[in-house]
A and B are shown apart, each in its own frame.
Chain A
Amino acid sequence: MNEFLNLFILFITDAWFAWIPAVGFAMVFNVPRKMLIFCAAGGALTHSFRFLLLHFGIPIEWATFIASANMGFLGLYWSRKHLIPRPVFTVASVIPMIPGSYAFTAMIGLVEINTSGYSLELMQIVMENGLRTLFILTALSFGLAIPSILIYRGRPIV
């Protein structure tokens, strides 16, 4: 019971810290003011859901894929309800899951291989972070596209 409570508190904290970046980046993308609340809800839900999946030992790529596929279906529902294109909600909501730190580490590794010469450790950093970025990002976009790939197949959603 105590363990469950701890997990629940972590889950809520995760959701709380995830809505902030979702709304922040939605504002950079100039999402209309009325829709920001949906981005906040989507961001909090997806990131905390992924947190739960990671907690139960699912690899990060698959966890990201499942969480973003959920967001894709949620976005589908909202977009049909409000007659607004799906990327308006979905992209801002998955922004907290973007592997930005891995991407920059890989790039910085490349720059350092250039300045300080080739070494196995640097190359390992570049490859591991680069591949992780690639796979997480593909899982993310693929998950978001699931509704239009599997259900709509080329027909317009709104």
Chain B
Amino acid sequence: MSLSKEQQTELTRVAVFAGQILHQHGAESRLIEQTTQRIGLALGADNVELSISPDAIVITSLVNGHCVTTTRRCHDRGINMQMVCDVQRICVMVEKQLLDAKEVKKRLQRLKPFKHNRWLVVLMIGFSCASFSHFFGGDRAAYWVTFVAASLAMILRQELAHRQHNPFVNFAAAAFVATIITSVGVIFEAGENPQIAMAASVLLLVPGFPLINAVSDMLKGHINMGIARWVFSTLLAISVSIGIVAAMTLIGVSGWTN
């Protein structure tokens, strides 16, 4: 099978598009690399090499000794596992020779990020943080205070994310709101140990996915991606703690370091 120059360019574009989607929706680097290479090879390239950096990917395809290189910027579009699943499914179908380049491109362009119903997410996150308060040994009062605080913080987080605010501002604001509400619980002495609610209600802001991705990227040899993700999640945690400290200073309650 010999590909023309145009076909090779098209193949490279399709492969880099798949990689870009994976990168934007929070896949780990190994998955981005493998999926992009597999799509490129299945569409007929002799070799596909790519370099992943935190905000862009560069890909080179090799066909009959000719190289085509292209770069795509990857802006973070939020973690979305459904997009990752769909790209993976397309990759498997290409490998089984069920799709050609044109069809793959059409399918990739048709993908739309699926979002769960936002009020359902708010409810579940409220109960999640309330469950954490149970793990920390809180009683029923702490459970419900955490539920209210975490739900309101989640609503704020969704609203700010919807308006494309900076994630650091967003997380600090959400932590501020959650801590204000739980501090009121501490002032009115809700239950045996209201400080537990303060600790549990901000756990919806833990950047868990980037942290796990950071360590597994570094384990699998993508050190620079791992460091970038690690620094990003550390900065998020710092902005959350600034929001918490601001709220505690404002209300005059201390719940963490004593």
Chain A residues with CB under 8 Å of chain B are 14, 17-18, 20-21, 23-33, 35, 83-85, 87-88, 91, 94-96, 98, 100-101, 103-105, 107-112, 115, 122, 125, 137-138, 140-142, 144-145, 148-149, 156, 158
Contacts and interface: CB of A to CB of B under 8 A. Distances in A.
Given A30-B80, A101-B136, A142-B219, A24 B256 contact: no
B120 A91 contact: no
Interface of B: 26-28, 30-31, 34, 38, 78-85, 88-89, 92, 113-116, 120-121, 124-125, 127-132, 134-136, 199-200, 202-204, 206, 208-209, 211-216, 219-220, 237-238, 240-242, 244-245, 256-257
Contacts, number: 162
A76 B206 CA distance: 26
Contacts of A26: 81
Contacts of A100: 202-203, 206, 208
Given A28-B204, A88-B81, 16 more contacts: A17-B134, A18-B131, A20-B127, A24-B127, A28-B79, A32-B81, A35-B85, A83-B92, A87-B28, A91-B213, A98-B211, A107-B238, A137-B211, A140-B215, A145-B219, A149-B220
Top 8 A-B pairs, shortest CB-CB distance: A24-B128, A141-B215, A100-B206, A107-B241, A21-B128, A24-B124, A17-B131, A30-B80
Given A20-B127, A25-B128, A30-B116, A101 B203 contact: yes
Contacts of A137: 211-212, 215
Chain A interface SS verdict (over half): helix
Given A21-B128, A94-B212, A95-B208, A85 B27 contact: yes
A110 B237 CA distance: 12
Nearest to A142: B219
29 contacts: A17-B135, A20-B127, A21-B131, A25-B208, A27-B116, A27-B125, A29-B26, A30-B81, A30-B82, A30-B115, A31-B82, A32-B81, A32-B82, A35-B85, A87-B31, A87-B213, A91-B208, A101-B203, A104-B199, A107-B240, A109-B256, A111-B245, A112-B257, A141-B211, A141-B214, A141-B215, A142-B219, A144-B212, A145-B216
Contact of A21 (B89, B132, B242): B132
Given A30-B116, A83-B88, A85-B84, A109 B257 contact: yes
Given A20-B131, A21-B128, A107-B241, A32 B114 contact: yes
Interface-central residue, B30, B84, B202, B212, by most chain A CB under 10 Å: B212
B80 A29 contact: yes
B185 to A, nearest CB: 17
Given A20-B124, A95-B208, A88 B85 contact: yes
A115 B131 CA distance: 33
Nearest to A85: B88
Nearest to A92: B81
B79 A30 contact: yes
Nearest to A30: B80
A84 B85 contact: yes
A95 to B, nearest CB: 5
